[in-house]
Amino acid sequence: MARLKQGTATSAGGIVIRFVGDAPQLVVGRRRRERDGVTWTLPKGTPNAGETTEQTATREVTEETGLTVAIVEPFDSIAYTFVQGRTRIHKTVHYYLMAPTGGDFASHDHEFDEVRWIGFDDASSLLTFETERSLVARAGAAAAGGPFPGARSTPLESPDA
């Protein structure tokens, strides 16, 4: 059997958090993929030439969710491996905690079929990938640990709010 080539990739994304009353919620998106069927994931994407990870995360979250966002603080990174063609790719995704500042889910791009707010308690059963479930559990603990700067206490205008 032929050995796979090795490659690396980097992406950036966000965990967008709002509070409804005292309950934190985050944004997730659903996409259809041939190999995985339907997946529920966090918004993330690949940098454009010359972009910082912060710029990539903000742009990708806005494109994929329709929301405008502000980075509250850098958060954790996750790493995983997948095979694409004949190459095994080791990918690192850098995440930021974010607060919504405007926008609307109706403006999300084609990468997600659906975008919605969910409670942190629902993330462990809805998110497809364990790396993201663990990340969100840590983010939920961080958000619950005190006031989340910049988070809205009332829902944004959104068909899914």
The model's pLDDT over 80-103, given as tens digits with 9 standing for 90+, comes to 998 989 999 999 999 999 999 999
Identify the pLDDT of residue 152. 44
CB proximity list for 12: less than 8 A, separation 6 or greater: 44, 45, 47, 53, 54, 56, 57, 60, 93, 94, 95, 96
Identify the pLDDT of residue 23. 87
Closest CA to 148 of 20, 27, 44, 57: 20
CA 77 to chain centre: 11
Q: How confident is the model at residue 37 (pLDDT cuts 50, 70, 90)?
A: confident
Q: Over 50: is that where the pLDDT of 117 sits?
A: yes
The strand pairing partners of 84, in sequence order, are: 87
Q: Over 80: is that where the pLDDT of 7 sits?
A: yes
Which overall architecture, per CATH, does domain 5-144 show? Alpha-Beta Complex (3.90)
Overall average pLDDT of the 37-49 stretch: 95
Report which DSSP code applies to 156: P
Rounded Cα gap, residues 151 and 88, in angstroms: 39
Identify the pLDDT of residue 155. 44
Q: How confident is the model at residue 159 (pLDDT cuts 50, 70, 90)?
A: very low
Tell me the three-class secondary structure of 48-66, residue by residue.
Answer: CCCCCHHHHHHHHHHHHHC
Q: Over 90: is that where the pLDDT of 44 sits?
A: yes
Identify the pLDDT of residue 42. 98
Phi, psi of 49 (to 5 degrees): -55, 130
Q: What is the CA radius of gyration of the chain?
A: 16
Identify the pLDDT of residue 137. 94
Q: What is the dihedral angle through the alpha carbons of 15, 127, 102, 59, rounded to the nearest 10 degrees?
A: 60
Q: How confident is the model at residue 142 (pLDDT cuts 50, 70, 90)?
A: confident
Identify the pLDDT of residue 153. 46
